[in-house]
Amino acid sequence: MPCEVLHLDPDAPAPEALARAAAVLRRGGLVAFPTETVYGLGADARAAPAVARIFAAKGRPATNPVIVHTADAEAARALAAAWPAVAEALARRFWPGPLTLVLPRAANVPDVVTAGGPTVALRVPAHPVAQALLRAADLPIAAPSANRSTELSPTRAEHVVRSLGNRIDMVLDAGPASGGLESTVLDVTTTPPRLLRPGLVTPAELEAIVGRVLRGDVPVLAEAPARSPGQLERHYAPHTPLELVAAPGAERVTQLTLRGLRVGWLALAPAGIMAASDGVTTRALPAEPKEYAARLYETLHRLDEAGLDRIVVDLPPSTESWLAIHDRLRRAATSSPD
């Protein structure tokens, strides 16, 4: 059965709609909702069967833990067995906002949330609808991105409906998620803290608060075009084969169109824009990482719907402010598109 879609004003969400969504969560259902990063697929984090439904709906492996969202730092702290000074300093600076902290789990966090591990990932989202929902439901909400596992994260309610529409109960549609890229995940159980997933909060912003941050397993910035990401797990990927090329990718785009392929070119503005030509759909994204992030998934979703044979993406600069974008693009790339 298709899910119910409720339209909300992002700045003044109607209390009646929030009460209905809260009721769905409280009875163990699944509600997708906007955050300032991407849309999340929420369930009552205290209820193991409800969280198990998230994994079933997404086709997510049980070994991949989910983030728990709370309305404020105090509620987050209640889910952690320890609250080190770095957590306090980071929470004060970045919450509510796109930072997820990994901490030792409290006993009241179900195993399904943490994938049986000793830690729990916690985040206080800033989006007014996420905040209002957390307060209306008066629950911690477990929420991964609201997409089938390995697919592109959703930045609009339509993306959620297309990916999960028949598998969930409700979607709160409050327009596009402004940040456009997932939160930064930082493990603060170690000293120094370790970056587990680069995201909207950059390493430099974290280091301004806590000193050194380990980059961990985060893929290093690409020096050269990555046509063969190899060891990287394919994730955050469109269905259309995607390849990364040194900017500007005009030459590669031309080469592919000469072979008769319909190509979507995600170019870096202002360089590399080529006049519209047959068989090429060009989309230029701003050469500034936060603005680029805000439009990346939205643009990939559109290109993916356009029935193209190939998506060619200009590789952004190799500086650390682009780290999260490099990470997502490399995971979206197809190892051997030819």
Could you list the residues that contact ligand TXA (CB under 6 A)? 35, 37-38, 40, 64-67, 98, 100, 102, 114, 117, 119-121, 123, 143-145, 182-183, 185, 196-197
Cα 121 to chain center, whole Å?
14
Q: Residue 66 binds what, of Mg ion, ligand TXA, none (CB under 5 to 8 Å, by partner type)?
A: ligand TXA
Nearest approach, Cβ of residue 201 and ligand TXA (Å): 10
**Smallest distance, ligand TXA to C-beta of residue 82, A:** 14
Within 13 Å of residue 316, how many CA atoms lie on the same side as its CB?
A: 26
Strand pairing class (310-315; 194-197): unpaired
Q: In what order do the strands lie in the sheet with 4-7?
A: 4-7, 170-173, 31-34, 39-44, 141-142, 67-69, 119-123, 99-104, 184-187, 194-197
- Distances from the Cα of 337 to the Cα of 154, 239, 310, angstroms: 24, 12, 8
Alpha carbons 314 and 293: distance in angstroms, whole number: 14
Site residues for Mg ion, window 133-152 (CB under 5 A)? 145
* Residue 202 interacts with, from Mg ion, ligand TXA, none (CB under 5-8 Å by kind): none
What does 70 interact with, of Mg ion, ligand TXA, none (CB < 5 to 8 A by kind)? none
Whose Cβ is closer to Mg ion: residue 145's or residue 334's?
A: 145
Report the residue number, 151 or 243, with the smaller CB distance to ligand TXA: 151
Nearer to Mg ion, 69 or 310 (CB): 69
Tracing tokens 């806590």 back to the chain, one arrives at 210
155 binds Mg ion, rule: CB under 5 A: no
Burial class from Cβ neighbours inside 10 Å (0-12, 13-18, 19+) for residue 35 reads buried
In the list ligand TXA, Mg ion, none, the entry touching 114 (Cβ below 5 to 8 angstroms by class) is: ligand TXA
Q: How far is the CB of 102 from ligand TXA (least distance, A)?
A: 4
Nearest in space to 240 (alpha carbons), one of 146, 298, 297, 307: 307
Indicate which of Mg ion, ligand TXA, none lies near residue 185 (CB less than 5 to 8 Å, by partner kind): ligand TXA
CB of 197 to ligand TXA, least distance (A): 5
- What's the start-to-end Cα distance of the chain, in Å? 39
User: Would you say 142 or 267 has its CB closer to ligand TXA?
Assistant: 142
CB of 78 or CB of 232, closer to Mg ion: 232
Asked if residue 10 lies in contact with residue 34, where contact means CB atoms within 8 angstroms, the answer is yes
98 token code pair:
């796109």
Q: How far is the CB of 10 from Mg ion (least distance, A)?
A: 22
* Closer residue to ligand TXA (CB): 123 or 310: 123
For Mg ion, the nearest residue by Cβ is 145
